[in-house]
Amino acid sequence: MNFKDYIRDIDNFPKQGVVFKDITPLLNDAAILKKATKALLNLVNEHKIDKVIGMESRGFFFATLLATELNAGFVPVRKKGKLPFTVLSKPYSLEYGDDALEIHADAIQKNDRVLIHDDVLATGGTAKAVCELVEELGGEIIQCNFLIELDFLQGREQLEAYKVASLIHY
């Protein structure tokens, strides 16, 4: 199955010089969405997962589906100021700016086995920040999972300490 057929490029979004990988055509096709979810589950293999983290906002789509299939809890990681409870915060850099991510302070328990999911691995700054948040809370990162990896940005280098799996490579 060539999932790339369901990803469209949007030039100069969100800023000049960036080619945005739009996953909405994949999400819009129920059969392809199911196949992509199954393929992402296969990347996890038989690992026992307690929590699946989805990163704001496109990481939420598959992270909730993966959590349901893995019989695990779902944990949203959001941009600063979006979560209503006590949070831990971590600054990060991405290919077109800087921001901060937050997680509820009680979302991950000591020794929880965690799958981190996002739609795209680009420079790796977002995923690395999430890994640091999980570790601060005492969780064990089983894998960082991505729908798309932009290999030319070498984001995997930021995640050398973790197992990384991606479904689609550009």
In the residue annotation, 95 being an active-site residue is answered as: yes
Catalytic residue from among 58, 78, 102, 156: 58
In the residue annotation, 58 being an active-site residue is answered as: yes
Catalytic residue from among 69, 95, 132, 135: 95
b vs e for 115-138, b when ≥16 Cβ sit within 10 Å of the residue's Cβ? bbbbbbbbbbbbbbbbbebbeebe
Which residue has tokens 């929880």? Answer: 112
Q: Are strands 8-11 and 87-94 parallel, antiparallel or unpaired?
A: unpaired
Catalytic positions: 58, 95
